[in-house]
Structure 1
Amino acid sequence: MDDFSPRSLIRNVCMEGLVEALERVGYREGENLFGAPYDFRYAPAAPGLASPAFSGFSSSLRHLMERASQRNGNKPVVLVTHSLGGLFDTVFLDQTPLRWRRRYVKHLVMLCLGVGGSPLNMWPLASKALAANPTSLQAGVLTYGNRSFASMFSLLPSPRVYGRTPLVITRDRNYSAEDMAEYLTAAGFSEDEVARYRTRALPVTLNLRAPLVPMTAMNGIGVPTVDKLVFWDGNFSGKPQLVNGDGDGQINLETVLALQRLVGADPDQPYFKSILIPNTTHKGMISDESALKRVVSEILGASS
């Protein structure tokens, strides 16, 4: 369809390695392989609240899937997501009628995402002063961007997963996922910005549900991944001491286990498999040869 250009966009959102791997086993862009890019600055909003960017993405994706199905003998499609794309598609599916999902979605293959966000994302949100005096141009751009992107609020640790576990540690107090509003205030966000987190982003993470279509989740493990940030002197503008756990370098194992609990516990979920690939990074899942072989194998299995 016109909204998503397969040739120019599917390769330009860091998916080129996966696209080429799929082409080697017979997929062809514009025929049975399509790209559905999204603007990563935005995010789904809570039910009942307007989100024009996400609404536009959802409408375009729905029509693309219907058209792709029609072009391929009216077969249902396999959705493949990476990172934030998994959140977009999970919310998208939840907002579509179950009858439509069962008609058009054969399988969801979700790469490098759990549920519940990541403590790593609390760091750039804290670094307002770093943006004013960046050590590099890249650091300044990322920090300014991260603080202004709605998607960063959606990727913050969810109380549903982390509860009162300390995630940011200072001499005077600790901050857990349940203290996120207080943490954002301490990091310099305005009352209006904190209110947007509470009303728009938090309800999305608290209400994520199983997609109710066959699903395979693939995640990397065995890579040091931030579990906690230590700003001992309370200066959020500085570089914190990082306390690492397991994961893929960005998505920690706790959120992956939470996904297993969420999806596996739903009696209406028709099929779910979780695959953990050792020593695989967030980006490596769609670029490393060994990981790509496993990903393509799962996609082919889902398609058969």
Structure 2
Amino acid sequence: MEPQQQRLFAPLVLLLATIFFAGAPAVIGHGEAASGLHPVVLLPGYTCIQASDAGRGWFRLWENYTALQADPGLLPCYQDQLRLVYDRAGGDYRNAHGVETRVVSFGTARSFRFDDPAQKNACMERLVEALEGVGYREGASLFGAPYDFRYAPAAPGVTARAFSDFSTSLTRLVERASERNGNRPVILVTHSFGGFYAMEFLNKRPLPWRRRHVKHLVMLCHGVGGSALIMQVLASTMGSPSPAPTLRDTVLSFGNRSFGSMFSLLPSPKVYGDTPLVITRAKNYSAENMPEFLAAVGFSDDEVARYRTRALPLTLNFRAPLVPMTSINGVGVPTVDKVVYWDANFTEMPRVVNGDGDGIVNLETVLALQRLVGDVPDQPYFKSILIPNTTHNSMISDDSALRVVVKEILEVNQATSS
């Protein structure tokens, strides 16, 4: 067996990007094109999807800042269009009555391009440009798999039609991308919540299919086990803790109560156990007593039951995808570790206790990913990289971080098949 074919579980690697890449050519420019590249399929992060609504002819729903900034009076209608409804009879989430949505430009990277310069750094546009700079071409060797972030995978045996439809589309896209590139298996590259989508997608595909069609999974800014930050977000929906919430905060705070994906982001008992995450004078809330916390911040018994049946089983039964993996995360940035509502008034701004991470993903979840993957004997390859002083968004926008990411993708191209 070749060295690259041997199972490798690399200890956490700390890359000092400013030293390691001093004097290295930037990956942002063109001219370094390589032939015979394995195709790349990109899965973006949470809220980085442009969805359209057919209510009055197709128009951009998320994100439609221009219209809302011009007429803030449209906000209630906009919120209602984003809202999901839980259909008890069907046992699944769906759009509100009369609303039809679709993601923009599935199969291409065009949906990651925004007119708003601020969004250029928040989504994958800079990464697309960096990959094009080393020879990737939109629609030929570079593809995108946007998804509706309001929905999420669900436990086995539980209906999740949106994720099932996405999985069918992604299966076809991966097969088509491979066929167009000399039957080379694809490299899946994800950011944030896209990593969760990718792992669940792979685990639902037959192992022979994975080995035939997927060369590597490269996950950016993804750990396992959720975050106390999401508990803070859900608590904030009880009131208006921010004196001047942004449009994004307003929409997401409203939507998080109805989105099927909100429970998937909560801390997992498998990672956090009974560690206090939300602290009050009378009671602490941990991942293990999450149903009590959800009830305390106003969720109904039916909503708590959905957490128990749809999201919790996935967080308790982590499965490595059994394809070669590389995990790249930022560290050295204050990241929510615990939230204190001393008087149990969840409508007030809490005191936040920070730990390490990238500002969104806590280092503890990255270590948990390393540990859980390392415990799987059949996982062929796993490498974990930490980039100092790198935030969640700068991983896909800053030149120094992009150099690391693109370098790893190029190395994956050169690796012998596992």
Instruction: Tell me how large the CA RMSD over aligned residues is.
Output: 1.6
Q: Does 1:206 align with 2:296?
A: no
User: Does 289-298 or 123-132 show the bigger shift?
Assistant: 123-132
Q: Deviations over 1:225-278 (max 9, x none)?
A: 000000001011111100000000000000000000011111100000000100
Q: Which runs of 5+ in 2 are unaligned?
A: 1-103, 115-121
Is residue 237 of structure 1 aligned with residue 347 of structure 2?
Answer: yes
Question: Counterpart of 2:141 in structure 1: which amino acid?
Answer: N
1:183-209 deviations in Å (ceiling 9; x for gaps): 000000000000000000111111121
Q: Within 1, Cα distance between the matches of 2:242 and 2:357?
A: 31
SS of the aligned residue for 1:177 comes to coil
CA distance in 2 between partners of 1:69 and 1:292 (Å):
24
Candidates 390, 404, 407, aligned match of 1:280: 390
Q: Which amino acid aligns with 1:191?
A: D
CA shift at 1:43, angstroms?
Answer: 0.4
Distance 1:4 1:136 in 2: 31
Q: Does structure 1 residue 163 correspond to structure 2 residue 273?
A: yes
Q: Where does residue 219 of structure 1 map in the other structure? A: 329
Q: How far has the Cα of 1:145 moved from its partner? A: 1.5
Q: Deviation of residue 147 (structure 1)?
A: 2.1
Q: Is the 8 A contact 2:109 2:128 kept in 1?
A: no
Contact 1:159 1:177 in 2 (8 A): yes
Please give the alpha-carbon distance, in whole angstroms, between the structure 2 residues aligned to 1:244 and 1:132: 19
The aligned counterpart of 1:151 is: 261
Structure 2 counterpart SS, 1:220:
strand
Give the letter aligned to residue 280 of structure 2.
T
The aligned runs of 1:161-200 (5 Å cut-off) are 161-200=271-310
Q: Does 1:118 align with 2:220?
A: no
Give the secondary-structure state (helix, strand or coil) at the position aligned to 2:168. helix
Normalising by structure 2, what TM-score? 0.71
Provide Cα deviations, 1:45-74, integer angstroms capped at 9, x if missing partner: 100011011001100000000000000000
Task: Select 1:136's aligned residue among 242, 245, 257.
Answer: 245
Which position in structure 2 is the counterpart of 1:63?
172
Q: What corresponds to 2:162 in structure 1?
A: 53
Are 1:14 and 2:116 counterparts? no
* Runs of 4 or more consecutive aligned structure 1 residues displaced over 2 Å after TM superposition: 10-13, 128-140
Which runs of 5 or more residues in structure 1 are unaligned? Answer: none
* 1:292 to 2:402 alignment: yes
Tell me: higher relative CO, structure 1 or 2? Use CA pairs within 8 A at least 6 residues apart.
Answer: 2
Mapped contact 1:132–1:140 kept (Cα < 8 A): no
Q: Identical aligned pairs, as a percentage?
A: 69
Matched, 1:90 2:192: no
**Separation in 1 of the partners of 2:399 and 2:128?**
13
Amino acid at match of 1:217: S
CA–CA separation in structure 2 for the residues paired with 1:42 and 1:73: 34
TM superposition shift of 1:7: 4.7
TM-score when scaled to structure 1?
0.96
Contact 1:10 1:34 in 2 (8 A): no
Shift of 1:134: 6.6
What is the CA distance between 1:3 and its match in structure 2?
A: 7.1
Q: 2:135 matched to which residue of 1?
A: 26
Q: Pick from 262, 270, 274: which aligns with 2:380?
A: 270
Q: Tell which structure's C-alpha radius of gyration is larger.
A: 2
Residue identity matched to 2:380: P
- Whose helix fraction is larger, Structure 1's or Structure 2's? 1
Which residues of 2 match residues 96-111 of structure 1 at below 5 A?
Answer: 96-111=205-220
Counting matched residue pairs gives 303
How far the C-alpha of 1:131 sits from its partner, in A, is 5.0
Contact 1:11 1:19 in 2 (8 A): no
- Is contact 2:331–2:386 with CA below 8 Å preserved after alignment? yes
| Contact preservation (8 Å) 1:221, 1:247 | yes
Question: Offset of 1:8 from its aligned partner?
Answer: 2.7
C-alpha separation between the residues in 2 aligned to 1:132 and 1:162? 26
